[in-house]
Amino acid sequence: MVQFRFDQIINHPQQQVFETYRDRLPELVPYLPNLDRIEVLERTDQGAGIVKLKNLWCGNVRIPKAARPFVKEELMSWFDYATWDAHRYSVDWVFELRVFTEAASCSGHNTFEVLDDQRTRYRLTGELLIDLGKMPFVPRVFRPLAPRVEKWLIDGVQPNLESIGAAVGKFLDDMKKKGKR
């Protein structure tokens, strides 16, 4: 299991950063180079500032040549189950692969903290566990390589998670230039 934490300062107000991340995630895809699309599949307003979302993320990560025969499109996409709390300016989330759900788990907690009226600290904490032994499509001969493949997957996931804060900031910068919110 790998635990990770990332802090980033976004030069926009807390409310705007929080709502952009929660409500406009599909619009951030052009700012996220390793994604083809994000689809909002379900959105439920629970009341009291709680919103539950189920999103489908479809990645376009470069796959090592040796792994290409074994990696199908379904493995490059995942569901995101998120519970947003507008009063705490936080979100708890769980990513779930579309296939072989028992082979990987990724979950975390993000917060959006006011630094001043124009700056927000975006903090992401989480953990990622990948068990290639539970992926039946991986031939036994490749299983000794599992630690290297797991490291490759982990090294690919963390920068993607970290890039979301930068994408929110760039998106809001562009909206500001265009005179939109």
pLDDT tens for each residue of 61-83: 666 666 555 555 556 788 999 99
Quick one: which of 96, 80, 87 has its CA closest to 42?
Answer: 80
- pLDDT at residue 149, rounded to an integer: 60
2 forms beta bridges with: 128
- pLDDT at residue 138, rounded to an integer: 58
Evaluate if residue 136 carries a pLDDT over 70.
Answer: no
- pLDDT at residue 59, rounded to an integer: 80
Higher pLDDT, 157 or 87: 87
CATH of the domain at 75: 3.30.530.20
Q: Report the greatest alpha carbon distance in the chain.
A: 57
10 forms beta bridges with: 120
Number of domains the chain contains: 1
**How far is the CA of 4 from the CAs of 86, 109, 110, 127, 178, in angstroms?**
24, 11, 12, 6, 35
- pLDDT at residue 102, rounded to an integer: 75
Range of the domain at 148: 2-177
The predicted-structure confidence for 10-32, as pLDDT tens digits, reads as follows 999 999 999 999 999 999 999 99
Range name among 63-67, 108-112, 157-161, 176-180 with the lowest pLDDT average: 63-67
**Is residue 23 a contact partner of residue 43, using CB atoms and an 8 Å limit?**
no
The predicted-structure confidence for 161-172, as pLDDT tens digits, reads as follows 778 999 999 999
**Is residue 53 a contact partner of residue 84, using CB atoms and an 8 Å limit?**
yes
- pLDDT at residue 131, rounded to an integer: 72
**Is residue 82 a contact partner of residue 55, using CB atoms and an 8 Å limit?**
yes
Mean pLDDT computed over every residue of the chain? 84
For the chain, the three-class secondary structure string (H helix, E strand, C coil) is: CEEEEEEEEECCCHHHHHHHHHHCHHHHHHHCCCEEEEEEEEEEEEECCEEEEEEEEEECCCCCHHHHHHCCHHHHEEEEEEEEECCCCEEEEEEEECCCHHHEEEEEEEEEEEEECCEEEEEEEEEEEECHHHCCCCCHHHHHHHHHHHHHHHHHHHHHHHHHHHHHHHHHHHHHHCCCC
Higher pLDDT, 136 or 116: 116
Evaluate if residue 147 carries a pLDDT over 70.
Answer: no
- pLDDT at residue 98, rounded to an integer: 75
